[in-house]
């Protein structure tokens, strides 16, 4: 199960999320999938910014401070829910896999 173990500002326009799995940094493969899902959700909600993989277990959100919205964090947590329990989140899971929500 993936969890956020730390969130911190990494400059005025960057937020760093440290993602862990069973007490260790999450694998690059899982973090890359998390970023893909989060990017799709950003696009769906029309939010500015971009999530990027930044090393083992790290995800960076790059968005100007003036454009930052509380939903940005929610997007990352929603993407975590998809990876952790895809059955409980079938609509997001389908959408993240490239399917249609309609």
CATH no. for residue 32?
3.30.70
Provide the domain limits for residue 9.
2-96
Residue of 75, 49, 57 lying closest to 6 (CA atoms): 57
Please report the pLDDT score of residue 93 as a whole number: 63
- Residue 84 or residue 48, greater confidence: 48
Please report the pLDDT score of residue 85 as a whole number: 82
- Residue 86 or residue 15, greater confidence: 15
- pLDDT tens track for 40-76: 889 988 999 999 999 889 999 999 988 988 888 899 9
Is residue 20 within 8 A of residue 58, CB to CB? The reply is no
Position 96 pLDDT exceeds 80: no
Is residue 64 within 8 A of residue 72, CB to CB? The reply is no
* Exposure string for 11-39, b = 16+ CB within 10 A, e = fewer: eeebbbbbbebeeebbeeeebebbbbbbb
Domains in the chain: how many in total?
A: 1
Please report the pLDDT score of residue 86 as a whole number: 75
Judge whether 101 lies within some domain: no
CA distance linking residue 86 with residue 94, whole number of Å:
9
């Amino acid at each position: 199960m993936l969890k956020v173990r730390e969130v911190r500002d990494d400059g005025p326009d960057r937020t760093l999320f440290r993602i862990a799995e069973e007490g260790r940094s999450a694998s690059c493969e899982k973090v890359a999938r998390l970023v893909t899902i989060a990017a799709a959700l950003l696009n769906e909600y029309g939010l500015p910014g971009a999530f990027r993989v930044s090393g083992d277990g790290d995800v960076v959100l790059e968005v100007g401070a003036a454009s930052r919205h509380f939903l940005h964090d929610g997007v990352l947590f929603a993407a975590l829910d998809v990876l952790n329990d895809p059955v409980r989140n079938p609509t997001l899971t389908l959408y993240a896999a490239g399917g249609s929500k309609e």
